[in-house]
Amino acid sequence: MVLAKQSFIPMAVHLTVQGSYAVTIVGTYERDVNSLVFQPLVNTKTIPPTAFVTYGNNYVREICCRASTTTAE
């Protein structure tokens, strides 16, 4: 939750179906989210190298931090 709260990118934390937590980026991305957001976060060690991008929806509910619902560019 600290990562999501302190991020310059609007993030939220969700409880997953598997009982773990997922940190997600809030917004809609029309371009490649991997090169625009994910890889820079991995490269700067903001997120661990074991993090991954998923497009599936296996979240039970949001539990933290929705900072904005505006479209990210």
What is the helix (H) or strand (E) element at residue 39, kind and residue range? helix 39-43
The answer to whether position 71 is within a domain reads no
Q: Mind listing the pLDDT tens digit for each residue in 5-63? A: 887 778 888 888 888 888 887 776 666 777 777 888 889 888 888 887 776 567 788 88
The tokens for 58 are: 């296996």
Count the domains in the chain.
1
The answer to whether position 69 is within a domain reads no
The answer to whether position 24 is within a domain reads yes
pLDDT for 68 equals 42
The answer to whether position 73 is within a domain reads no
Q: How far apart are CA 18 and CA 70, in angstroms?
A: 28
| Close Cβ partners of 25 (under 8 Å, ≥ 6 residues apart) | 9, 10, 11, 33, 37, 72
Whole-model pTM above 0.85? no
The answer to whether position 33 is within a domain reads yes
- Domain containing 39 equals 2-64
